[in-house]
Amino acid sequence: MELNEIAKVIEGVLFVAGEGVDIDEFKTKYEMNDREFNKCLDILKQKYNEASGINIIQFKNKVQLCSNPKIAESISEILNPIREKSLTKAALETVAIIAYKQPITRLEIENIRGVNCDYAIQLLQSNNLIEVVGRKDTIGKPVLFGTTDNFLKRFELPSIDSLPDYNELLDRIRVIHSDGDSLYREFTIPDEDKPEPEPTETKPENE
């Protein structure tokens, strides 16, 4: 089959799937190498370019059709999907911690943030940004959380290895906070290998 025809099949599969499809599925089916598959993808990218309402994205060895981010606002006004602002500031901070420290338990997240994270974790799971990836081999065997493929897509990251500088990621996902917003709290992710500083004794003022 010619590459133009294979490109049409890929296009149809991505449309019907509605989610990311593993690139190896296409390469195995049509016995293509990387160069041949990329040619098929180039054919589709020329069709679904920046002027189109549909784009093609690649992430974690998967490919998917998605809406053009330039018209996201107009689409949301019509379809009213879950938007970025549906994530609270607490949830955004929580997902940033999970992205950098995964796999991580709820208690470890709360130790970093200093507040209860039950609602934030529930919200992130309902938005398919985090998932349970296992259990920690400690007393009680608490669940471990990690980010999902949807997290990569939502924040336009090709893989978890391409996470930007921590502060840069926060800048990407941070919502401008107001002074009275009790959910917002600046924090830093502690270095697990760095020992905690020893407390210093303070002398009474009358000494």
**Averaged pLDDT for residues 96-118:** 88
pLDDT tier at 183 (50, 70, 90 boundaries)?
A: very low
Look at the pTM and tell me if it is higher than 0.95: no
Quick: pLDDT tens for 33-69.
999 999 999 999 988 888 888 888 888 888 988 888 8
pLDDT score of 98: 93
Are the C-beta atoms of residues 15 and 53 closer than 8 Å to each other? Answer: no
pLDDT score of 141: 85
Whether the pLDDT of residue 165 is over 90: the answer is no
Are the C-beta atoms of residues 57 and 138 closer than 8 Å to each other? Answer: no
**Averaged pLDDT for residues 170-178:** 49
**Averaged pLDDT for residues 105-130:** 87
Q: Which residues face 59 on adjacent strands?
A: 62
Domains, the chain, ordered by start: 3-71 (1.10.10.10), 84-173 (1.10.10.10)
pLDDT score of 172: 61
**pLDDT cut 70: percent of the chain above it:** 73
pLDDT score of 130: 93
The residue count for the chain: 207
CA separation (Å) from 94 to 1, 128, 187, 193, 200? 48, 14, 11, 21, 31
Tell me which residue of 83, 99, 65 sits closest to 169, measured CA to CA.
99
- Number of helices followed by number of strands (H, E) in the chain: 9, 5
